[in-house]
Each structure stands twice: as C-alpha cells, then as structure tokens.
Structure 1
Amino acid sequence: MTNLKVQAPVPVDLEGDLASLPGDGARMAPHWAVHDRVTSRPVSPALIHGVNVPPASARLLEAMSDYGD
C-alpha cells in the first residue's frame, strides 16, 4: 500500500465561510480528472418503477417545514 503524504499549500480554515469556497475549489481542482464527454441515453418510462424511501427517512422529511429548519 502506498502512503501518500499531502500537505496543504496554505493553512486550512476548518471553520470556513462562503468567502473561502472559491479558494478551496481552486486548490482541489487539479486533483479531479476531467472526462472527454459523458453522454447519457434516455431511459424508457417503462423501466422507472418509483422510489423506495425508508420509513425513518419519510418521517424525518414529513416533520420538516417546507423551507427547511
């Protein structure tokens, strides 16, 4: 197993705010691979059978207000 040591070029702000997001994204961007082009084909409606939601998740969502808590 390879042990890769990664050091941040600048101090990391663990209590970051929205202003720090562009810098965070710029530092992470070189690590992401970019594929040439991903094309998706349409799915036939006959293959879509619905969504199953666990009862606990359904209760959690039902208890939330419409605009978040």
Structure 2
Amino acid sequence: MTNLKVHAPAPADLDGDLASLRGDCARMAPHWTAPRKHTSRPVPPSLIHGVSVPASSARMLEAMPDYGN
C-alpha cells in the first residue's frame, strides 16, 4: 500500500491575498538561484548544414506576406 500523505512546511492558503502570496514567495526565494548569464556567439553560415524544410511548411511561409513576397 502506498502512503499518500504529503507533509508541507506551511499550509497552502488558496484564498490568500497579495501579502500572503508575497510571503510564500519570500520563503521560497532561498530555494531558487538564478542561472549564470550565458551568452552565445553567432554561428558562421558555413557551419550550418543539413537543414531541410518540408514542402508544406515552405508553401505556408511562401503564402505569408511577411516572408513569401
């Protein structure tokens, strides 16, 4: 048999107000860290190969005024 009990450190306040939500966020903030900033460099066109576009997608883009004309 599976134990389906869930133990939460604080009860969920589903009818709470903004102050309650901000308090919940403040308690969770230490558990989340921002990832390091990652910058990607552009890839030279000579390294891009093997791209294939299905004919139906090409026709769809061709029919769009922003791309096909």
TM-score, shorter chain, exceeding 0.5:
no
* Rg larger in structure: 2
What TM-score range do you get, normalising by the shorter chain? 0.3 to 0.5
TM-score normalised to structure 1 length: 0.36
TM-score normalised by structure 2 residue count: 0.36
